[in-house]
Structure 1
Amino acid sequence: MFAGQALAQVTPTPRPDPNSSASAPAGPVVLPAILVDLFDPAAAPPSPNPPPVAPLANRPLLLVAPQAVSGAFVPDEVLVSINGDPQAAATVAAALGLEVRSMRQSALLGVTVARFGIPDGRPVGVVLAQLAGDARILSRAPNHIYSLQQAATIGSYAFGRIEIAAAEARGTGVRIAVIDTAADETHPALAGVIAGTFDAMEETPVADRGHGTSITGILAGIGVSPGIAPGAVIFHARAFEGGRSTMSVILSALDWAAEQDVRLINMSFVGPANDLMARAVGAARERGILLVAAAGNNGPQAPYGYPAAYPEVIAVTATDDEDGLMEQANRGPYVYVAAPGVQLVAPVPGGTDLVTGTSFAAAVVSGAIANLLSAAPDHSADWVEHALASTAHDLGPAGRDTDFGFGLINTKAAAAAR
C-alpha cells in the first residue's frame, strides 16, 4: 500500500477454488481406476519405436486412477515441471515411453518445464496418473488450449463511461506486457508504441495480427484511434495464431513478460484451469505485477474462465454504452470489475473497426490502471486493486455480484482514493 494512504476495506466475494469440483457448473467424467505399471511403458499401448528402458527387478503394479481432465487440451502432450536437470526429464520420459518435445527453464517458476509427447495414443489423463508416481515430478498438467475473447461482431464512449478525459489520459512510462496475437506495428495508431516484441511461436508463420493490434491500440494507441493510456511502454508477446494457443506457449510469453520488468500484464484470453498457469500468475503477482484478464465470452452458464478466475488476477467483464452487461459474458464470483467492451472503435490492420468482447474490456481496465500508475508510480498492486473495487460504480444487485463484480470502474475516483 502507498505510504501515508489508506483505503476503505473491501471484502471481496470468496474466489472459486480452482481445485474444487464445484468451481464450474459442469465437471468432467472420471474414468475408472486401471492397473498401471508406473515403471514400464509396456503397460500402455506399445509405441512403434519405444525408447530403451533399463530393466528393473520386481517392478510393482499400482492401482492408479486416470486424472480427470476438463477443458480443451493438446491430445498427445503433457507438461511437467522437473526437480532436476534436463537429463532427469529425459530419464522420466524414457521410463514412461514419452518423447521430450521441448524443455526450458521457467523464469517465473524457477524450475525446468518439459513438454512430453505421447507417441502411443494413451489418454492424457492416464499419462498424468503415471507421472504421479515419480518423485522427480514437481507438477504435471495437460497442455491446455486458450482462446482469445473477441465476440462475433478505444472507442470514444469508453473514456466517458470510466470517468477519464481523453485529452488528459496518460500512461506515460508505465511498462505493460500484452500477450496476444502479433500486432501490426506499421499501423499509424501503433507508431512508436511497442518497445519490445517476443515471438513464443517462432515455428508458426504469422497470419493473424487483428486481435493484438486492437488490444494494443485500445491500451496505448495514438492519433485518430487514441488509447486509454497513450505513452505507456508496451512489450508485445505473440502467443496466439488463429485465436488459439497452448499452456506451454503462454508460459513462455509470461516468463518473457516478467523479465521485462513490467508493472502489468494484459491477458485477453480464456481457457481451463491449469496448475502451471496458476503457479505462474501467482509468481508474477508475488513480484508485484498486476494481472488483468478477460472474464470470457461464453455465456452465463459457462465454466469459469482462466486465468481470470485465479485470485491473483483482475477479471474484467464487458458493458455497453448504457452500462448494460454484454449478453455473451461469463458470470461468476470471480468477476472483479466491469468496463466498456461492446462496439468499441479500435485499430485493426488496414484501418479501424468496431470490436466487442471481454478481451477489449480488459484492455480498457489495463489502460485505466496505467493512468493510475503513471500519476503515482509508488502505488502498489494491492492499492490499485482495492482502489478499483472501492470506487467502482455499482451495477446490478447491491454490492459485488456475479455479473458486474464490484461494478464499472471509475478512474477519476480511483485516482483520488485514500
Structure 2
Amino acid sequence: MRIFTLLSVALGLIAAPLAAQVALPRVQLPQVGPVLGEALDDLDETRAALRRTADRLARERLRAIDRLVRRNPDAIELDAEGAPARRGELLVMDVSTEALGPAFGAGFTLLSREEIEGLDMSVARLGVPAGLDLGEAQLLLAQLLPMAKVSADNLHFQSGNANGAALAISAQSSASTAAPVGMIDGAPGSSVKVTEARGFAKGAPFPSNHGSAVASLLASAGASNIKVADVYGTDKAGGNALAIAKGLGWLVSSGSKVVTISLVGPNNAVLERAIGAARRKGVVVVAAVGNDGPAAPPAYPASYDGVVAVTAVDGKRRALIEAGRALHLDYSAPGADIHGRNAKGKRIALRGTSFATPLVAARIARAMGHGRSWRSALDEEAIDLGRKGPDDTYGRGLVCGTCKGR
C-alpha cells in the first residue's frame, strides 16, 4: 500500500499543470526524485522477493519428487521426462494386441488390456523388459511402435494442505438444485456424506484428509449427488494416470455432469484423451493449477484444452504466492482462510488451490441445475481482481468470494 501511495503522490505532482502550480501559495514542494526513487526501490525489492519465493518453491518441488522416488523404489521411478510414474509399466493406445509384436520381440510383456468404462477408450499396460529403466523403455517402445501413443503411468499429487489443526463443530447441511458432481481424489471419511465412493487403486476407497476436505467444500457450496473416485487408496503409486482415467470414466457413465480434480501432474497422453472424451460427452472438468509456484511447469489436467483451470486467493483476496500455473486460467476462488472437514469429521484450516477448485465446480453444477449457461452464470458472479479484465493471476475473476467452507 505504501508503494502505491508514494507512486500516486509522485505521479500526481509530475502531471500537475504549470498554471495550477503557479496559482498555489508559495510552499516548499517535496522533491519528486527521492520519492520516486524510494518507491521504485521498494518495487524492485518486492519483485526480487517474489522471484526468490518462486525459485524456492521450484526447488522444493524437485526435492519432494526425489524423496518420493527414493522412499518408494519398489513402486515409483522417473519417466523419460523426469516425472514420477508407476515403476516398470508403460501405457499404449492406438494399437491392437496383434500389432504389439515388435514390443513383445524386444522383451515387453502385456500386463492387461484396459477398456475404460464410459469413455470408449482402450489402453494396453505393458511390462518393461528386465535391465531397462522406465525412461529407456519408454523411448525404445516409442521407436518400436511409431503409430502408437506411448506414455508412462504418471503420478498426480493433491494440491493443498488439509492437515490443519482440528476443532470439533456441528455439521451443517446445504441443499440446492444442482447437476450431479463427480470428484477424483482420495475418499472422504464417513462423516462427510457423499452418494457413492468407488476405488481405483490398491486399498481404495480409503478415507483421506484431502478427499474429505474437498468433498466437504463441495457440499458447503451447494453441490449435491456427489460421487467420489478414489485414485489413491493405500497405493504407493496412487494418483496415476490410468487410475484417474478409469475413475473419470466411471463418473461419466454414472451421470456426473461436473467433475472436480484437485490433483496436478505432467502432461500425459492417456489422461488427455480421457478428459477429451469426457468433454465430448458434455461433462465439465474443473482442475486446480497446483501449489508449486509460478516457476513450476504448467499443471495438468488444468492445462488441457477445455478444462476449467482454477487458482486461489486468501481471505484478503490476494493471490496465493505458492499458486502454480496452467496454460490458461479461468477463475479464482478462496483457497486460504477457509475451513473444511478431515477424515475424522473435524473442522480444519485449509490452504491451497485444491480447495478453490471444488467451490468453482459447485457453482458450475448449480448453474447447470437451474438450466443456465454455467459460463454466463460464473462470469456474472465473478469479481474482477487485478488489472481490468481476464488476467494470468485471477483469470476471469473471483467466484464464491464469500465462501468460507464449513
**TM-score (structure 1 length as normaliser):** 0.68
Give the Cα–Cα distance (whole angstroms) in 1 for the partners of residues 315 and 401 of structure 2. Answer: 16
Query: Is 2:229 the partner of 1:237?
Result: yes
- Secondary structure, in 3 states, of the residue corresponding to 2:222? coil
Name 1:64's counterpart in structure 2. none
CA RMSD of aligned residues (A): 2.8
Overall identity of the aligned pairs, in %: 27
Equivalent positions of 1:81-230 (< 5 A) are 81-84=93-96, 87-88=97-98, 91=101, 93-107=103-117, 109-133=119-143, 138-151=148-161, 153=164, 170-184=175-189, 186-187=190-191, 189-190=192-193, 194-201=194-201, 203-204=202-203, 208-220=207-219, 227-230=220-223
Equivalent AA in structure 1 for residue 242 of structure 2: S
Equivalent positions of 1:13-412 (< 5 A) are 68-84=80-96, 87-88=97-98, 91=101, 93-107=103-117, 109-133=119-143, 138-151=148-161, 153=164, 170-184=175-189, 186-187=190-191, 189-190=192-193, 194-201=194-201, 203-204=202-203, 208-220=207-219, 227-230=220-223, 232-241=224-233, 244-350=238-344, 351-376=346-371, 379=372, 383-389=373-379, 391-409=381-399
Cα deviation per residue 1:267-313 (whole Å; 9 max; x = unaligned)? 01000011111111111111110001111111121111100011211
Give the Cα–Cα distance (whole angstroms) in 1 for the partners of residues 197 and 147 of structure 2. Answer: 32
Size of the aligned set, in residue pairs, is 315
The worse-fitting range, judged by mean Cα deviation, of 101-110 and 288-297 is: 101-110
Give the Cα–Cα distance (whole angstroms) in 1 for the partners of residues 399 and 380 of structure 2. Answer: 9
Question: CA distance change for structure 1 residues 292 and 282 in 2, over 3 Å: closer, same or farther?
Answer: same
Shift of 1:102: 3.0
Give the Cα–Cα distance (whole angstroms) in 1 for the partners of residues 185 and 86 of structure 2. Answer: 19
Question: CA distance change for structure 1 residues 207 and 411 in 2, over 3 Å: closer, same or farther?
Answer: closer
Unaligned runs of 5+ in 2: 1-57, 60-78, 165-171
Give the Cα–Cα distance (whole angstroms) in 1 for the partners of residues 90 and 260 of structure 2. Answer: 26
Give the Cα–Cα distance (whole angstroms) in 2 for the partners of residues 262 and 341 of structure 1. Answer: 24
Cα deviation per residue 1:63-91 (whole Å; 9 max; x = unaligned)? xxxx952532234221111433xx43774
- Secondary structure, in 3 states, of the residue corresponding to 1:292? strand
Cα deviation per residue 1:161-197 (whole Å; 9 max; x = unaligned)? xxxxx99x6543521111111111x20x42xxx2222
Contact 1:70-1:272 at 8 Å conserved across structures: no
Contact 1:83-1:112 at 8 Å conserved across structures: no
Question: CA distance change for structure 1 residues 89 and 364 in 2, over 3 Å: closer, same or farther?
Answer: farther
Contact 1:179-1:236 at 8 Å conserved across structures: yes
The structure showing larger relative contact order (alpha-carbon pairs under 8 Å, at least 6 residues apart) is: 1
Give the Cα–Cα distance (whole angstroms) in 2 for the partners of residues 340 and 269 of structure 1. Answer: 17
Equivalent AA in structure 2 for residue 79 of structure 1: L
Give the Cα–Cα distance (whole angstroms) in 2 for the partners of residues 252 and 113 of structure 1. Answer: 10
Contact 1:171-1:373 at 8 Å conserved across structures: no
Give the Cα–Cα distance (whole angstroms) in 2 for the partners of residues 384 and 353 of structure 1. Answer: 30
Contact 1:392-1:409 at 8 Å conserved across structures: yes
Cα deviation per residue 1:24-56 (whole Å; 9 max; x = unaligned)? x99xxxxxxxxxxxxxxxxxxxxxxxxxxxxxx
Question: CA distance change for structure 1 residues 104 and 387 in 2, over 3 Å: closer, same or farther?
Answer: same
Equivalent AA in structure 1 for residue 221 of structure 2: I
- Secondary structure, in 3 states, of the residue corresponding to 2:148? strand
Equivalent AA in structure 2 for residue 210 of structure 1: N
Cα deviation per residue 1:314-358 (whole Å; 9 max; x = unaligned)? 111111111111121013551211001103111112221111111
Give the Cα–Cα distance (whole angstroms) in 2 for the partners of residues 344 and 409 of structure 1. Answer: 14
Contact 1:268-1:360 at 8 Å conserved across structures: yes
Unaligned runs of 5+ in 1: 1-24, 27-66, 154-165, 221-226, 413-418
The structure that has the greater radius of gyration is: 2
